[in-house]
């Protein structure tokens, strides 16, 4: 069985969607969810869904091999970033080359980089009067949003759209495509 570990920092809606998608898959399972915020709503979702969840602090993540050791112990085949905001340290990228994927709420290379996440992206897209936006699923390297692109999906932006309605459209793309791309990567 292939094993996914999800990293999340926030509400965990994408994590829950992935967990639910693979719940009945005999070949793939979500082994655990890791978070850098002990108050993240994703922890409540994991508790409700019966998925092991672990909190870690900055020194454990950046200054040691603790996370790599934990991932090895969980027999991780793929690390999935689902709303995880910290930069992945070099030792983790080296331990899991082309085995860490992220979803970005825009069509990279546009609107990527440090500080470009969530509502900040949708506001920038709206402020620049873009006619379309979307999602990018990409491999993670040592730089924010610069890893090789695996998949993109687009949605149109209407003149009446707001950053909030753009976010809703983007979330729908995330929920529809992220689990399917993960499954394809592990098949």
Per the rule left: phi > 0, alpha: psi between -120 and 50, beta: everything else, 100 is: beta
- Residues 2 and 78 sit within 8 Å (Cβ to Cβ): yes
Distance separating alpha carbons of residues 45 and 58, to the nearest angstrom = 23
**Separate counts of helices (H) and strands (E) for the chain:** 7, 7
Residues serving a catalytic function are: 104
Quickly list DSSP for 118-145.
HHHHHHHHHHTT-SEEEEEEEE--SSTT
The alpha carbon of 64 is separated from its chain's Cα centroid by a whole number of angstroms, namely 22
């Amino acid at each position: 069985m292939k094993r996914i570990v999800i990293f999340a920092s926030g509400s965990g809606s994408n994590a829950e969607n992935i967990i639910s998608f693979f719940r009945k898959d005999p070949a793939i399972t979500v082994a655990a969810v890791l978070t850098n915020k002990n108050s993240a709503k994703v922890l409540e979702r994991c508790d409700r869904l019966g998925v092991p969840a672990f909190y870690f602090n900055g020194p454990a993540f950046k200054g040691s091999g603790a996370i790599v050791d934990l991932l090895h112990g969980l027999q991780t085949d793929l690390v999935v970033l689902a709303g995880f905001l910290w930069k992945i340290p070099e030792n983790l990228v080296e331990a899991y080359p082309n085995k860490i994927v992220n979803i970005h709420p825009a069509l990279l290379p546009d609107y990527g980089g440090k500080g470009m996440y969530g509502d900040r992206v949708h506001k920038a897209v709206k402020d620049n009067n873009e006619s379309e936006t979307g999602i990018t699923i990409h491999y993670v390297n040592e730089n924010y949003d610069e890893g090789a692109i695996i998949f993109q999906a687009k949605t149109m932006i209407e003149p009446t759209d707001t950053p909030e309605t753009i976010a809703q459209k983007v979330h729908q793309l995330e929920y529809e495509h992220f689990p399917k791309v993960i499954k394809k990567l592990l098949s």
